[in-house]
Structure 1
Amino acid sequence: MKFGIVVFPGSNCDRDMQDALQNDLKKEVIMLWHKDKDLSMFTTDDCIVLPGGFSYGDYLRCGAIARFSPMMQSVIEFANKGGKVLGVCNGFQILCESHLLPGVLLPNGQQQFVCKNSFIINDANGKALKIPVAHGDGRYYASEEVLNQLEANNQIIFRYCDEKGNIDPAYNPNGATRNIAGIRNKAGNVFGMMPHPERASNKELGNMDGLEVFRIFGMN
């Protein structure tokens, strides 16, 4: 699997993601500038990554301007053809603004930027993973109808929890509805999450739980 990482003005986790994929997962990585359009070097077996940061300075809503960049038009087409797309933090916001994923990321419930380790759990995995968060607009929200559809289709891939895996609002860093930390689309090829697995994928960082996140996405 080959990876393409889209770089927007304001991206600040693009090199972190490159380092994790290239050096920790030993994958081929191609950096993609937001003004370009060409994805012809990728097949639907590959993955395009939208990294964290503050694309276009987070003017209007987070991800709202990036959604209209030339490269994102190609990414939308790539996803609609079945190609894999992963959005982390600001990348998750862009995926929701692009309607590749349902719902929206609202300002944190406490109205403050949060930067700390959090624990998340995947129902199928059953193990709490320690993954850092760093965002001001990470509160996932969707209508009850959409939330019920996500539940019914097993599209909620991560929820915030305590270190033992108990899903408890007290350990939700942003007030996200139903403790949602990450979701996928119904087809299962587009993924979005607020926590940063690329910041927890190397023993020198003191945490390798991020590698398990990539494995759950089928990207190891």
Structure 2
Amino acid sequence: MPTRIGVVTFPGSLDDRDAARAARVAGAEAVALWHADPDLHGVDAVILPGGFSYGDYLRCGAIARFAPVMDSIVAAARDGLPVLGICNGFQVLCEAHLLPGALIRNSRRKFVCRDQRLRVENATTAWTNAYRAGDEIVIPLKNGEGGYVADERTLDELEAEGRVVVRYLGDDPNGSYRGIAGITNAAGNVVGLMPHPEHAVEALTGPGTDGLGFFTSLIGVPA
């Protein structure tokens, strides 16, 4: 039986279908999860996709954090369920306190949409083990509130514990502290990142297939 990856749809999600497609391209079964349904339907992992959940009212991800499905996801994540938050999903993970820090408006106050160079810093998480530490990849980035911030103590802990997963290379696109593009929890099962690996899984579209490893990692296939 293939690995079953649940993809949550919130009101305002944009990239849920892209994430589901990426899961299928990687060889997994994509299972649709609805924000108002707390049942995770026995999935082996969950993706919180990009978009503008609940219209980004209050703060990005602030309302989605209280969706019924999130109660189940938070509990399951704390028991080891792999969870990947992409862009808005990263914001939701921070709001749900599954990851530390916050995502704020880009330092240049402009929406950024470009192919972004990244360096893989941690290749031991549930979502990055198909890569090698130091790998340089290119995947799309598109956000207006993508600046990762945290206090110095938290940043130092993330660095010391190897919990920075990916880092921006070249010009920092959104003012993220220390060039952080993605982080993980201490257990390595929860990962949040601002760029969009689901848009780089097929050679026909996007900048290539560098994002595929985030999905094949979960099913034990090398990038």
**TM-score after normalising by structure 1:** 0.91
1:72 partnered with 2:90: no
Q: Which residue of 1 aligns with 2:165?
A: 157
Aligned ranges 1:172-211 → 2 under 5 Å: 172-205=172-205, 206-211=207-212
Once residues 49 and 187 of structure 1 are traced to their aligned partners in structure 2, the CA distance between those partners, rounded to angstroms, is 17
Q: Deviations over 1:118-165 (max 9, x none)?
A: 111013531211110011000000000000100111000000004xxx
1:45-98 Cα deviation digits (max 9, x unpaired): x21100000000000000000000000011001101111100000000000000
Aligned to 1:18: 20
TM-score by length of 2: 0.90
CA drift of 1:214 comes to 3.3
CA positional deviation for 1:213: 3.5
CA distance in 1, matches of 2:65, 2:137: 30
Segments of structure 1 that go 5 or more residues without pairing to the other structure are: 163-170
Alignment correspondent of 2:146: 138
Q: Distance in 1 between matches of 2:9 and 2:68?
A: 12
| CA deviations over 1:24-60 (Å, ceiling 9, x no partner) | 2121111000000112413xxx211000000000000
Backbone CA RMSD of aligned residues = 1.4
CA deviation after TM superposition for structure 1 residue 216, in Å:
5.4
Q: Tell me, in whole angstroms, the C-alpha distance in 2 between the residues paired with 1:79 and 1:2.
A: 15
Cα distance in 1 for residues equivalent to 2:220 and 2:201: 13
Identity across matched positions, percent = 49
Detail structure 1 runs of 4+ shifted over 6 Å in the superposition. none
* Secondary structure of 1:146 counterpart: helix
Partners of 1:190 and 1:28 lie apart in 2 by 19
SS in 2 for 1:20: helix
Equivalent runs, 1:19-168 vs 2, <5 Å = 19-22=21-24, 24-42=25-43, 46-123=44-121, 124-162=132-170
Q: Which residue of 1 aligns with 2:125?
A: none
Distance of 2:158 and 2:218 partners within structure 1: 17
Unaligned 5+ segments in structure 2 are: 122-131
The number of residue pairs the alignment matches comes to: 208
Match of 2:4, as an amino acid? Answer: K
Output the CA distance in 2 between the equivalents of 1:141 and 1:216.
Answer: 27
